[in-house]
Structure 1
Amino acid sequence: MGVPSEEVGGASEIRDGGNVVEDPAAKALPIDAGLSKFAKKMPIFEPGRVASSSGEKPLVVNMDLALYKAKGLARNFQFEEAENILRKCIAYWPEDGRPYVALGKILSKQSKAKEARAVYEKGCQATQGENPYIWQCWAVLENKVGNIRRARELFDAATVADKKHIAAWHGWAVLELKVGNIKKARNLLGKGLKYSGGNEYVYQTLAMLEAKANRYEQARYLFRQATKCNSKSCASWLAWAQLEARQENNRAARRLFENAVQASPKNRFAWHVWGVFEANLGNVDQGRKLLKIGHRLNPRDPVLLQSLALLEFKYSTANLARVLFRRASELDPRHQPVWIAWGVLEQRVGNLSAARRLFRSSLNVNSQSYVTWMTWASLEEDQGNSVRAEEIRDLYFQQRTEVVDDASWVTGVLDIIDPAIDSMKRLLNIDQSAYYKAKDSSRSAPGASGGGIEEDEVGTSATSDTGDDTDSGSGFDLDAFIRERLSVDTKKLDIQFGSSQTLVPKKIKSPRRIWRSGTKTAATSSKS
């Protein structure tokens, strides 16, 4: 239920975890291309402007340029240089909240929660508690580290400082949703709309709540309001498309997917979710085409290759799927679903030793993965090794207790919101209807243009269409769109793999935790 980086009410906002964080620097001074070039050439603090003989403050433009420079340094992971610049800004302009916000975010990115907290506290004191941006960023920090009560207090302080600060209302509502306080979340979202007017993030979150409660007409109305607020919001189009998909309104869903890719042509989630949608309906060629377009636009993304591999495994050859899995694992060795799905492939084709090595690779990424342990145990049981299967299950519960507060546990949570995980679950036969469960499409980023859709096109008039027809009836020409907008020829989407020989994973050592005292026997017996 996260939110992307987009424009809200004229103020730039960024996404931090599941919350919207407004960026006051962008609100105070929009920087065009000309100023960008000027900033790179101009010293941040000119000696002649820093102070005069009369003790004047540096000109404000120095801080604007310094903030811009620090943002660029942070983007390139030059955190120390960025921090030095921001601390100078705080020294010269202690009453301005922007450098506190920027410095706190940089420290948070480096997991320096204590230092970031101190910066936010100092900023609130310096601004006499009247800057809602600092309160909100501090609340996001406390929420991230698990201090829920403190986060509530800080979100409340942000709304007191400025009741029109929509990001605070939304961030607070998301916090309440995560802890199960749905009624409280609805109330907060309602206040956000009351004080701030229409806002796409609030409408989208409310729409998803209505959809979860099976109030589909209300959800459609709210999604329509979200897209009216911002027709370029890929996240809203995608979330709405998945609502129609769950209702088997396939033609309506396709129109909304078309709007999503027009809103954000290079968005990996849009191409991925649309491709999996078509493949699950049996439109294999169309699904393959959409996934390949997504891969061409996002060549470093492993999830698109993973889903394409699953598609090829089911409808083409295991060897082609194996090559795609290998490529995905090289792009991101920490992406656990790739290792699990690849292991299942090898199990299905009878390469049991390779499957076991891949399951170990998965556990190297996250030893807490229930799916990996149980799938491995299932493999052993299918081979008649019931004792070994029971040892693996016991090993899972033993190591889970030993490292219950390990940070890698978070990876298991990410599996839930990864759109690709549903494809893997279908392959593993864990949940045959998993694709149409709620996904975190809100991570999508904004795009360059938006597509319109009439109110009566999607809603009560949407009819069920379960056939394999891939035409939405909107007149949208996919080939022309990506050729003209993205300079991509759909006839040249084949991925070059190099060698066509059968690939098997290299032998990988078992996770260190498996070899803890009392578990060595079980791990040894599981060797291939």
Structure 2
Amino acid sequence: MVAAPLPRDGSWSNNSNNSDNNENAKRKVRQKYKRKRIPATEKERRRLSYERQAQYEELISKSGDEPPSIWSFECLFPKAVWDEEVIERDLNEVKKRDAATIGKKSSRNQKQQQQQQQQPKSTERLKTSAIGASSMMRVWREPKLSSFILPYVMEDVVENTKAFLGDKTRDSTKEETAEAEAQAVADIFTPTVGPKPSPNATLSERLGAAVIETNKSGKVDLELTRMVEDRMYGYRRGTTSLMGADGSVQFREGVRLGNPLPVNAARLNYHAKMELRHHRTEEAQELYEEAIRIDPRNGRAYLGLAKCAERRRDYKLAKECLKTGIANSVSLAEDGTPDSGANPFLLQALGCLEEKAGHLTQAEALFIEAARSRPSHAASWVALAQLRTEKFRQSAMAGRVCYQTAARELEKAGKKPSSHVFTAWAAMEYKKEGDVRKARKLFHMALKADKRCSAAWLQLGCMEAKQENWAQAEICFETCLKFDKRNSRILQAYAIMESKRPESNSRKVIELFERALKVNKRDAGVLQPYALYVAELGDAESARDLFERGTKVNKRHAPVWQAWGVFETRQGNPEAARNIFQQGIWACAPLGGGQSGGYKCARLWQAWGVLEAQEGDYAAARRCFNRAVDADKRNIAAYRAWTMMEEELGNWEDARSLFEWALQQFEPGTTERKQMWQAYELMEQNANNPSGATAVYQRSMREVFKLQDIKEEKEKEAEEESLAESLKTVAEVEEKVDEKKKEYDVMQWDQGSSSSLKAESMESEVWMNKGSIEGKVPNAEMKKQRTQTQER
């Protein structure tokens, strides 16, 4: 064995240095990617955020140690946000358009007058038009193309020549006109610089010499040439006309000409998706932009760019990306048939973005448009059903219609059943109707469609846990964790279930929460229940640390702020709770929100109102409840808390007006409306008003009976329609039945008996055949007829 040579630098004397260097190399953290460009929309969003943060800090500094009162909360939104572009367009767009139209008409009239006054000579006009034709022909640099296009250009030149010389050559002879035309054409295709072609050269040779000389002079506009070529070859030029003589692909300025392979765009989209999954937004954005450059018709890249902008909370840019994709992308179904409208995936994503912004009407219109574009797009139906049942608080029937339509369209298109459709349907049946049996059946249908559907296992486990079927819930969570170990939502639900279990083990619960945080350290949805469980165990300081950690990792997570504020309220720290509620509203309020801060702040306002009611400041509580209702008109928790406060104060008229207003916000038959009816009746009983309670009960029952009648009418109409369709189908089937297979009506007739025919019956058979009567004559009668015929 030969020993390895020792290094001359003496590094062999201390081997520990090498191990330290290796450890340091492993510890090197990847440097953060420096952004190359920042969109203007993101700069504007940052400016508004910094500006409002400065205003908030100034407000805190002026108030001293104590947080500002609720009455000065208007300072958080001191100025209205004016959209200068919209205002300018609304006020001056029509005036500018009219002025531009008038200016164009006047300039056009002036040009026509000048042309009529100054009529150039026929030869000069001929040369001008011919020179214009020659400049258009500069784009064809190859002799083959020039010889191919030349006949068509020559026809136009000759026609223009005849038109221009028409006035001057009326009195001249045909020979002089032909000589003038030939001379004009010769002057056009004769180069002014360099050696001139021979007089006997053909027109194609003269054109080629002129083009070569023009290219040498450097007077060709490359951008205009490229534009003309693009118009000639279409939006994307094929590789047939862009291949070289040797079959190689042509390049221009380092860029390949022609259509690239679709696999290149798909590859870029995949790598961009991986970069976005690892939170490298800038790299993902560059890859998506390159994919759009390669294939502008693919909608995946536009959807990826919108996700990148949404990660930076630049919702304006995200909307622009989606709208651009809807205008440019082309979507095809799996069988190759084009959609009847725009890209349904982009429409559904834009609808979700509008829903997050609180524009529920626009979101509903986009979901409907996506479903019409491709009826088998299940995500659009699910989003539409959840919007109507959860945000619009419509009845379960509205969502049930969407889910049934989605399942029917998938079956009609020949696709497999969607597990997500059945999962969302089952969750709605359980939450809205409380039908556990039907929900369990739908969950099993979802798992039958996809055994590894994590959403179905999660929802089923949560439902079984609420029904206190602890063993079945544990089986659901453990089954899902076998193939989806890094699902923080499953671990969170599993931990919450174990915490509510009668014989729960705190170590197991804490271990599950820690596993979920190990998967995603920035998940505020895990930190909130973790903090509440620790608070139940009695460790208030650790709970505060977890709440603070949740607000830092995700400032816009309203449930964390609400839980923290309620915790401080129960701990007897109202001032700290007020400060937490105010910070939460400031963090969760959108940049373009009003005084109430938007949909996410409704829970915070409601919790703040409960705090003020407990502290005895009822005016501030009413103001908070008013803000909560303004942020979410269907916030039933705010209505209930507000009415309960008015009941305790004895303001029965105010409570009645609140109930009447709340009942108008919910549709008949919904769960929320039923709860409001029950609370209204209970309030009248507490007010010692039995007649009022009876009137409320009668109104609620009248509404139930009316809904029942409507339901029965709809069922009756459906039965009549189904019966009519069945009768129509039976009639069509009867008409198509082959006549040979029809049954014949058989009848018996008796001719009586005679002495000569005692042994033989005179019974005969008669049947119908195609409308004619056919009979079977007895043998005796047949013999008798034969003898009579022979005698004759």
Q: Normalising by the residue count of structure 1, what TM-score does the alignment of the two structures yield?
A: 0.59
Residue 101 of structure 1 pairs with residue 340 of structure 2 = no
Q: CA–CA distance in 2 between the matches of 1:301 and 1:337?
A: 11
Partner in structure 1 of residue 531 of structure 2 = 275
Deviations 1:74-120 (A, max 9, x none): 77334355233234222799747793322233246442534543443
Q: Which runs of 5+ in 1 are unaligned?
A: 1-24, 51-57, 125-131, 414-528
Q: CA–CA distance in 2 between the matches of 1:277 and 1:316?
A: 19
Q: CA–CA distance in 2 between the matches of 1:411 and 1:301?
A: 28
Q: CA–CA distance in 2 between the matches of 1:370 and 1:175?
A: 18
Deviations 1:2-34 (A, max 9, x none): xxxxxxxxxxxxxxxxxxxxxxx9999523349
Partner in structure 2 of residue 476 of structure 1 = none
- In our comparison, the structure showing a higher alpha carbon Rg is 2
Deviations 1:423-452 (A, max 9, x none): xxxxxxxxxxxxxxxxxxxxxxxxxxxxxx
Which amino acid in structure 1 is aligned with residue 415 of structure 2?
D
Q: 1:155 aligns with which of 407, 416, 437?
A: 407
Q: CA–CA distance in 2 between the matches of 1:345 and 1:324?
A: 12
Q: For residues 39-438 of structure 1, what are the structure 2 equivalents within 5 Å?
A: 39=287, 42=290, 44=292, 64-69=300-305, 72=308, 76-78=315-317, 79-90=319-330, 95=337, 99-107=343-351, 109-110=353-354, 111-114=362-365, 116-124=367-375, 134-142=377-385, 144-145=387-388, 146-158=398-410, 161-163=414-416, 165-177=418-430, 178-248=432-502, 249=504, 250-315=506-571, 317-331=573-587, 332=589, 333-334=597-598, 335-366=601-632, 369=635, 371-376=637-642, 378-379=644-645, 385-386=649-650, 389-404=651-666
Q: CA–CA distance in 2 between the matches of 1:349 and 1:70?
A: 46
Q: CA–CA distance in 1 between the matches of 2:473 and 2:662?
A: 39
Structure whose residues are more often helix by fraction = 2
Contact 2:452 2:483 in 1 (8 A): yes
Contact 1:155 1:172 in 2 (8 A): no
Q: 1:31 aligns with which of 262, 267, 271?
A: 271
Structure 1 pair 309/181, CA: closer, same or farther in 2 (3 Å)?
closer
Q: CA–CA distance in 2 between the matches of 1:193 and 1:362?
A: 39
Partner in structure 1 of residue 784 of structure 2 = none
Structure 1 range deviating more: 37-46 or 194-203: 37-46
Structure 1 pair 336/76, CA: closer, same or farther in 2 (3 Å)?
closer
Partner in structure 2 of residue 430 of structure 1 = none
Q: For residues 477-516 of structure 1, what are the structure 2 equivalents within 5 Å?
A: none
Contact 2:666 2:673 in 1 (8 A): no
Contact 2:531 2:547 in 1 (8 A): yes
Which amino acid in structure 2 is aligned with residue 151 of structure 1?
Y
Deviation at residue 288 of structure 1 after TM alignment:
1.3
Q: CA–CA distance in 2 between the matches of 1:410 and 1:381?
A: 20
Query: SS at 2:343's partner residue?
Result: helix
Contact 1:70 1:83 in 2 (8 A): no
Which amino acid in structure 1 is aligned with residue 497 of structure 2?
L
Q: Which runs of 5+ in 2 are unaligned?
A: 1-264, 276-281, 355-361, 389-397, 590-596, 676-792
Deviations 1:193-239 (A, max 9, x none): 33433332222222223223322112111111112221111111111
Which amino acid in structure 2 is aligned with residue 155 of structure 1?
A
Which amino acid in structure 1 is aligned with residue 657 of structure 2?
L
Q: CA–CA distance in 2 between the matches of 1:370 and 1:401?
A: 10
Structure 1 range deviating more: 170-179 or 391-400: 170-179
Partner in structure 2 of residue 448 of structure 1 = none
Deviation at residue 273 of structure 1 after TM alignment:
0.8
Deviation at residue 64 of structure 1 after TM alignment:
4.8
Q: CA–CA distance in 1 between the matches of 2:576 and 2:656?
A: 35
Q: CA–CA distance in 2 between the matches of 1:120 and 1:368?
A: 26
Q: CA–CA distance in 2 between the matches of 1:237 and 1:379?
A: 38
Contact 2:351 2:366 in 1 (8 A): yes
Partner in structure 2 of residue 5 of structure 1 = none
Query: SS at 1:197's partner residue?
Result: coil
Q: CA–CA distance in 1 between the matches of 2:637 and 2:385?
A: 31
Partner in structure 1 of residue 689 of structure 2 = none
Q: CA–CA distance in 2 between the matches of 1:198 and 1:374?
A: 41
Q: CA–CA distance in 2 between the matches of 1:380 and 1:269?
A: 34
Partner in structure 2 of residue 446 of structure 1 = none
Deviation at residue 136 of structure 1 after TM alignment:
4.3
Q: CA–CA distance in 2 between the matches of 1:176 and 1:337?
A: 25
Q: CA–CA distance in 2 between the matches of 1:228 and 1:270?
A: 20
Structure 1 pair 254/95, CA: closer, same or farther in 2 (3 Å)?
same
Which amino acid in structure 2 is aligned with residue 358 of structure 1?
C
Identity of aligned residues (%): 19
Deviation at residue 189 of structure 1 after TM alignment:
2.7
Structure 1 pair 273/412, CA: closer, same or farther in 2 (3 Å)?
farther
Q: CA–CA distance in 2 between the matches of 1:101 and 1:151?
A: 18
Q: Normalising by the residue count of structure 2, what TM-score does the alignment of the two structures yield?
A: 0.41
Query: SS at 1:235's partner residue?
Result: helix
Deviations 1:260-306 (A, max 9, x none): 22222111111011111221332212211211111221233343233
Contact 2:454 2:480 in 1 (8 A): yes
> Taking CA–CA contacts closer than 8 Å with sequence separation of 6 or more, which of the two structures ends up with the larger relative contact order?
1
Q: CA–CA distance in 2 between the matches of 1:159 and 1:362?
A: 43
Which amino acid in structure 1 is aligned with residue 381 of structure 2?
W
Which amino acid in structure 2 is aligned with residue 396 of structure 1?
L
- How many residue pairs get aligned? The number is 363
Contact 1:271 1:290 in 2 (8 A): yes
Structure 1 pair 370/390, CA: closer, same or farther in 2 (3 Å)?
farther
